Amino acid sequence: MDQVAAVLGVGPGLGAAVARRFAREGFAVALMSRREESVAAVRAEIEGAGGYALPVSTDATDPASVRTAFERIQSELGEPEIFVYNAGAFQMGGILEITPEKFDECFKANCGGRSSTPSTNASSLSDGSGGPKR
């Protein structure tokens, strides 16, 4: 495979659809989610169609987790050419119904998590060799 895409926030909806699309286009896809087992069905679907998917446990709100995830992706697949940030947390309710802690948790995942990613294409992790390894 010549291309690598990393999708952070792979769930049953949009994240999975984006990952499947990149896989159909020939990308090896890193399926980044809090729990690797939650992407098992998407992985099976991609690999059943002849693609390659790597499940990677990642907490978008934890910069250390994101760094570790990108290091693993680069080591096992190569440097991603594409990075999609699709992580999110949602709490239904009015401003007076949501606790400040819940609001902060959602804000951190929806808005703040992107700031903990190395860069849009993970180039800050490059060892100078560049390019995918798979």
How many percent of the chain have pLDDT more than 70? 82
- What pLDDT, on a 0 to 100 scale, did the predictor assign at position 116? 59
Write out residues in the chain with pLDDT < 50, as ranges: 120-128, 131-132, 134
- What pLDDT, on a 0 to 100 scale, did the predictor assign at position 118? 60
Going from the C-alpha of 62 to that of each of 8, 31, 67, 79, the distances in angstroms are 12, 17, 9, 21
- Cα–Cα dist 76/86, whole Å: 22
What is the model's pTM? 0.78
Domain 3-125 class, CATH top level: alpha beta
- Cα–Cα dist 85/50, whole Å: 25
Judged by DSSP in three states, 4 sits in strand
